[in-house]
């Protein structure tokens, strides 16, 4: 199932080394002005080779809109966006044809489908997320009209943890190549990533995402709770191993009297004193900040020899090759934002039919 | 959206104090023998009043199958199950009509829908999960035919943590009222829950779920990854704040060389040496144990006075009343299992069309 | 798939001789006043035994709303309605256990599912349509708020054809037991049905449905065109063999210059001079009357001996028994209306997100 | 909603005069050999300019597969196919910017979306059906593995009617430019189309589609009956006004004793003596021939002046321009087949989970 969303729906397609990847966005309301530069800016935040701590592989993710936009505005028709793959046939991937790389999807794809596109991960490659970022850019344009603001940043690399988001200026995130808007922490994170890269290894981390100015009423009980969809959306991103919102796993250690968010009347608006709820109660947004953490495992491709087996069960050695990210979280920040805005755009439309 | 699943689909309905709750299961294959006693056993694991550490409220969750089963077998038609609510009109809930209880869904439901069934939580009540457990029982019967085994247990209450699941005998879980199959830990958990109850407070915790004997090939890239659907399913349960699978949040601190699961050939079967992947790679099951953690916040209803506001913005005091659970996790174990098997049953059917 | 609709969704369940049939309506906006008497009135229009030209079987289709309505209004939660089957165990259906009745679903259900509920048609019985009528009554209440008016009537029985709908007073339909609001035609239709019944036979017919006061903009290109969904909805009713809208099959004999509907400005509103389009252009309503025809085959149960085979391939004689309708169209009028309003209610909600 | 199908799903995109049209096919099982020549052959059957009785406009519908196929076989990943539009910017469509052409979708698209791509029909153009034909070609390859055979032909143009399908050799359909495999009728149809073209007019017609060798068990009660989905699929094709299967509208004039299809045992296989049911009973295929008729209205674009209004309500004259089809049915034959096979492919997959 390569479609996500109920009303604002995206369908992505494409393999890492096929001719192109892309996305069809269906259900975007008509009349939305499309800023193509903004889409490119978002793609550039995700692209490889953007800084010294990412892969040095160069890909210029330029896109074409094939449909759904006329004279600069959406028409209500599906919006197809295609991003060509560059040099997709230049490399030799035959060494991967039969080998199952550890902690990649090689084995499971072959077990499920009976065959696989073994060129660089094929459909399971994180390259697919570029299509999500392009679609997310359009969702962001829709959310801007409602002044909803979605900002993600790197809150942890390995065991280097940034302070709580409430103490940070998230508008500065892009000033740091590691995308953590806290100077001292950012410096340490960069040092750890550099060290890891020199060790021919990789390291995991956590991205925190904060949504301000969300209206009340987003989320659909009982299965499509706002945090349940955010969770699914985040867990659908490559390398993600966990999701928590509001007080999360730590909050389970609290008592109810510590954890409950009392309501107060602030100048005519109902607010909560604390926000352990993370802006969501009963699966529906309550107007407070929504915040959540997304756990990313260390990248599976390492520049070291590893033991594995091939598709005939023979023992083989997998040797790391190519240029890969020592830590995926800096480049994953726009992907987390993209999936978050896609969820919100969908719920924003769904909320329009909640009452007569 | 009160429907979950693509092929094995459930639609739940009902409020805590309406005439009944229930579920329609659509897409269950024909020919499955239905053991009604087993469904009752599962409902009994969830029902209130089952032990001294749960709410002492008594509800006898008996059910009726209205359709879809003929001469003891499923026919392929939708299976409707109804569980009557007992004494649903006996209580006076008028004190809740205008008040927004802290960290409940009162405020968000009213903000979203413009009105709400204020009797004991209405649709947002965890009573709805009884319908999920009934449906889950049928999914379990389906999974049994494939010998897939799903077992959840309480792995943490407050900060009392059980040892790793690999050291436990999960078949003993039901022997402990707290549903933690480790005697010393169970004792401490029960003591903590007792103490919390005496303090008129509540406490959170974590449930771990382990799935053995899963076939390879379950899960659908790229959005309906197996862990993404498990995550959504768990996060859709009342009070859940987080989900992690395999190495989870802790695994993000590891390096790739520590974290990768090398493949080995064990007597002709491809297995992994370690299982940081939690049985899922690229969103598809690889045949190893699937395991994940689900975080539950402390129950919001506490036997203490709390400050809040009413729906006109006036300050009010909410006083705890009635008989509620001091800790929800023991009774949530069958709910976690139910949602897990519903996800698996759906993917099991979906996997039947992966290849020609 | 026992669910219909994208936003205003119904899921029906139940067999003709199980304990009950019913429907869950999900996605009905909150705040709609529910008139239970109106639901009963609609069910009574469909029920058996209502006149001398229908089956004389008596069923009193009383219903219970189990959820989703609080203090007389919808809450946004799913609305479950259950209609008990009366005396469902009183009859002996063992003669049908192995026999495939001609032009019934006995053979295909057994071929598909490997077993079947052979009691009176089971899931394939038209009794299921009572659930649709109950749900349709709620959709009608929603459409009333938009002043959309849906009226069906019997336009043909056998080869007795009523005049064009534009010459009829559709508000009089219920005055005639055959539900054709044209006195001379109604009389002839009744005579033909009577004669057919005396011949121990059955006869087919056509229902025409007219929708006035539809807003522009209903229908979703390219697959969910308004007439495509109306067509599917009608074809999903038992015994329906065809659907045409606007000029229909006859219109294919016209030339473009005869068939095109020229636009005119009538006092500031854009209208069409003629309405061969049947109120739908490009799959979207244009504000003119929507009208369509639905073809019903003769009822398959006849009071005559017929040759057939049993499930072991042996030749058997099927003898007609019981009390059945000699012509189904009079009782099918409320079913056609119900499916039409369910389609419109869904598109009305979907249209709310067409533009920013 | 530009997606069709539940398991074998297509999403089309593109406008008649945008850069390209295309389709994403999701859910095609892995391992299917893709014959690109066959896809081209199917597109060529639909393309303009193929004979003297179609539009003389030349479009060379060549396609590119962007994903989902590796080394000649499907991988289980979504298959994206793009067909570039040729010379899409060469024409001046400004005369259509404000004018609503009679019986086109200009008015309804503008009413629904507030704006429209006015270049040659935009999204509402029948050019979109090329994407369906490309997807249908892949579905045909899947059905071939089950030996299911789908053949459509022109059975009526204006009032010139071909004999019943059972008397025709459908394998000869492509030998006639009008795609009617009955020499005398084909000749008359061609003459009528020629005459109509000389009159600067257009004419409607009917396509009949016959499906042989269908397995039993396709179709899903109660809403997704096989004929209901076939009906929706056909009605979603541009210019279609009606659908009937089996005995259709005429069959409603018969009595039950005339209409019922008695079962017989033919050498161990259960067959029916007659086939008024059109191969479908209770919404499920019974193994007999499936046959249905699809009504196409005359093409709305005529080479004559017509009165209309513009989007400010002013009276305007619309003058026919360009090269258009005098009769759409010959070119619509592959489109009807494409939609039929897409429905069948979907149900074939869905049938795999009907029983344990």
pLDDT digits (tens, 9 = 90+) for D280-295: 999 999 999 999 999 9
Q: What is the pTM of this model?
A: 0.98
- A227-284 pLDDT, tens digit each: 999 999 999 999 999 999 999 999 999 999 999 999 999 999 999 999 999 999 999 9
d(Cα C216, Cα C332) in Å, to the nearest integer? 28
**Buried/exposed code over A122-161 (b: 16+ C-beta within 10 A; e: otherwise):** bbbbbbbbbbbbbbbbbbbbbbeeeebbbbbbbbbbbebb
Q: Do B70 and C2 touch (CB under 8 A)?
A: no
Examine the pLDDT at D321 and tell me if it is beyond 90.
Answer: no
Residues 230-249 of C with CB under 8 A from D: 231-233, 235-236, 241-249
DSSP codes joined into one string, D126-179? GGGHHHHHHHHHHHHHHHHTTT-EEEEEEEEETTEEPPPGGGS-GGGGGGSTT-
Looking at residue B27, the DSSP 8-state letter turns out to be -
- Residue C91's pLDDT band (boundaries 50, 70, 90)? low
pLDDT at D326: 95
* Set of chain B residues whose Cβ sits within 8 Å of the Cβ of D77: 221
Nearest to B354 among D76, D353, D354 (CB): D76
Which residue of chain C has the CA closest to A356? C29
pLDDT score of C96: 81
C354 to A7: CB separation less than 8 angstroms, yes or no = no
Distance CA D15, CA C17 (A): 51
* CB-CB under 8 Å, B27 with D355: no
Question: pLDDT per residue over A145-170, tens digit each?
Answer: 999 999 999 999 999 999 999 999 99
Structural domain contains residue D356: no
Instruction: Give the minimum alpha-carbon distance from D174 to chain C in angstroms, rounded to a whole number.
Output: 23
Q: Which chains touch C (3 or more CB pairs under 8 A)?
A: A, B, D
Give the pLDDT band (50/70/90) at residue D107. Answer: very high
**Residue of D105, D201, D233 lying closest to C257 (CB–CB):** D201
Query: Residue A143: closest CA among chain C residues belongs to which residue?
Result: C356
Average pLDDT, chain C: 95
Mean pLDDT of chain D: 95
Residues of B in contact with D72 (CB under 8 A): none
Q: Residue B228 is part of which domain span?
A: 3-351
Show the tokens assigned to C177.
């037991």
Question: What's the CATH code of the domain at C87?
Answer: 3.60.150.10
Would you state the pLDDT for residue C52? 87
Nearest CA in chain B to C15: B67
| In the predicted structure, residue A84 carries a pLDDT above the cut 60 | yes
Lowest mean pLDDT among A10-14, C118-122, D75-79, D193-197: C118-122
- pLDDT beyond 70 at B87: no
In this prediction, residue B299 has a pLDDT band, given cuts at 50, 70 and 90, of: very high
> Could you tell me if C305 lies within 8 Å of chain D, comparing CB atoms?
no
Does some domain include residue B31? yes
Contact C355 A31 (CB under 8 A): yes
Residues of chain C with Cβ-Cβ distance to B77 below 8 Å are: 2, 13, 15, 117, 122-123
Predicted confidence band at D174 (pLDDT cuts at 50, 70, 90)? very high
CB proximity D7 to B under 8 Å:
yes
Q: Which residues of C touch D252 (CB under 8 A)?
A: 156, 158, 204-206, 241-242, 295-298
CA distance A189 to chain B (A): 12
CB contact under 8 A, C117 and B79: no
The answer to whether residues B13 and C10 touch, using CB atoms and an 8 Å cutoff, is no
Residue C259 has pLDDT above 60, yes or no: yes
Nearest chain B Cα distance for residue C165, angstroms: 38
Distance from CA of C268 to the nearest CA of A (A): 24
Test A13 with D24 for CB contact under 8 angstroms: yes
Q: pLDDT tens-digit profile of C272-296?
A: 999 999 999 999 999 999 999 999 9
- Tell me, what DSSP letter sits at residue D353? G
Q: Which residues of A touch B124 (CB under 8 A)?
A: 221-222, 282-283
**Position D176 in a domain:** yes
Q: Note whether A66 contacts D122, CB cutoff 8 Å.
A: no
List the structure tokens of C114: 């490997």
Q: Tell me the shortest Cα–Cα distance from D332 to chain C, in angstroms.
A: 14
> Which among A7, A145, A356 has CB closest to C32?
A356
pLDDT (0 to 100) of residue C187: 98
Chain B residue nearest residue A196, CA to CA? B255
Q: Cis check for the bond before D222: say yes or no (omega within 30 of 0).
A: yes
Residue A114 lies inside a defined structural domain of this protein: yes
Nearest C-alpha neighbor of B235 from the set B133, B335, B134: B335
CB contact under 8 A, C356 and A31: yes
B107: closest CA of chain C, how far (Å): 14
Q: Which two tokens stand for residue A334?
A: 């726009």
DSSP A276: T
Contact C92, C303 (CB under 8 A): no
Q: Are the C-beta atoms of C340 and C148 separated by less than 8 Å?
A: no
Say whether pLDDT at A57 is over 90: no
Is D30–B354 a contact, with Cβ atoms under 8 angstroms apart?
yes
D30 to chain B, any CB pair closer than 8 A? The answer is: yes
Query: What is the distance between the alpha carbons of residues A300 and A203, in angstroms, rounded to a whole number?
Result: 9
What is d(CA C262, CA B125) in angstroms, rounded to the nearest whole number?
56
Q: Does B145 touch chain D (CB under 8 A)?
A: yes
Does residue B187 lie within any of the structural domains? yes
For chains A and B, count residue pairs whose Cβ atoms are closer than 8 Å. Answer: 362
Name all chains with 3 or more CB-CB pairs below 8 Å to chain B.
A, C, D
Per-residue pLDDT band for D86 (boundaries 50, 70, 90) equals: confident
Alpha-carbon distances of A216 from A270, A273, B238, D266, rounded to whole Å: 11, 16, 19, 66
Interface C–D counts its CB contacts (< 8 A) at 362
Assigned domain for D46 exists = yes
Instruction: Give strand pairing partners of D149.
Output: D212
**pLDDT on residue D88:** 59
Interface residue B345 vs chain D (CB under 8 A): no
In Å, how far is B108's CA from the nearest CA of chain D?
Answer: 30
Provide the Cα torsion B37, B41, B43, B49; round to 10°.
Answer: 130
Of residues C18, C77, C109, nearest to B123 (C-beta) = C77
The answer to whether residue C70 is domain-embedded is yes
Classify A60 as helix, strand or coil.
coil
Residues 71-110 of B with CB under 8 A from A: 100, 102-105, 107-109
Query: What is the C-alpha separation between C212 and D343, in angstroms, rounded?
Result: 32
Does residue A159 lie in a domain region?
Answer: yes
List alpha helices for chain D, DSSP H: 36-46, 106-113, 129-144, 183-198, 226-235, 248-251, 256-259, 329-350
With contact defined as beta carbons under 8 Å apart, do B17 and B89 qualify?
Answer: yes
- Inter-chain touch C298–D259, beta carbons under 8 Å: yes
The whole-angstrom separation of Cα A254 and Cα A244 is 15
Going by pLDDT thresholds of 50, 70 and 90, the confidence category of residue C88 is low
Please tell me the predicted confidence (pLDDT) of residue C87: 61
At C53 the pLDDT is 86
B3 touches chain C (CB under 8 A): yes
- What pLDDT score does B91 carry? 67
When divided into structural domains, chain B yields a total of 1
Closest Cβ opposite residue B259 in set A270, A285, A297: A297
């Amino acid at each position: 199932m390569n479609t996500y969303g109920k009303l604002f729906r995206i369908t992505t397609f494409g393999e890492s080394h096929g001719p192109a990847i892309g996305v069809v966005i269906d259900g975007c309301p008509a009349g939305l002005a499309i800023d193509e530069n903004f889409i490119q800016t978002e793609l550039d935040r995700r692209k490889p080779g953007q800084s010294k701590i990412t892969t040095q592989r160069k890909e210029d993710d330029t896109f074409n809109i094939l449909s759904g936009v006329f004279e600069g505005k959406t028409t209500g028709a599906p919006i197809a966006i295609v991003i060509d793959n560059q040099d997709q046939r230049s490399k030799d991937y035959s060494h991967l044809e039969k080998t199952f790389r550890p902690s990649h999807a090689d084995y499971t794809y072959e077990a499920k489908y009976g065959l696989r596109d073994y060129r660089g991960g094929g459909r399971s490659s994180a390259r697919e997320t570029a299509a999500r970022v392009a679609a997310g850019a359009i969702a962001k344009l829709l959310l801007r009209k409602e002044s909803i603001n979605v900002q993600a940043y790197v809150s942890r690399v390995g065991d280097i943890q940034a302070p709580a988001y409430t103490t940070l200026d998230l508008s500065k995130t892009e000033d740091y190549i590691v995308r953590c808007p806290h100077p001292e922490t950012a410096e340490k994170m960069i040092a750890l990533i550099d060290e890891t890269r020199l060790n021919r290894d990789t390291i995991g981390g956590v991205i925190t995402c904060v949504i301000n100015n969300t209206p009340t009423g987003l989320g659909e009980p009982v299965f499509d709770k706002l945090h349940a969809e955010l969770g699914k959306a985040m867990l659908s991103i490559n390398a993600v191993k966990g999701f928590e919102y509001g007080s999360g796993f730590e909050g389970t250690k609290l008592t109810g009297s510590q954890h409950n968010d009392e309501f107060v009347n602030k100048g005519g608006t109902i607010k909560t004193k604390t926000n352990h709820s993370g802006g969501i109660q009963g699966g529906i947004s309550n107007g407070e900040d929504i915040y959540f953490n997304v756990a990313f495992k260390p990248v599976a491709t390492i520049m070291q020899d590893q033991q594995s087996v091939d598709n005939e069960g023979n023992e083989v050695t997998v040797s790391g090759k190519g240029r890969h990210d020592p830590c995926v979280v800096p480049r994953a920040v726009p992907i987390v934002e993209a999936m978050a805005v896609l969820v919100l755009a969908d719920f924003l439309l769904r909320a329009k039919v909640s009452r007569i």
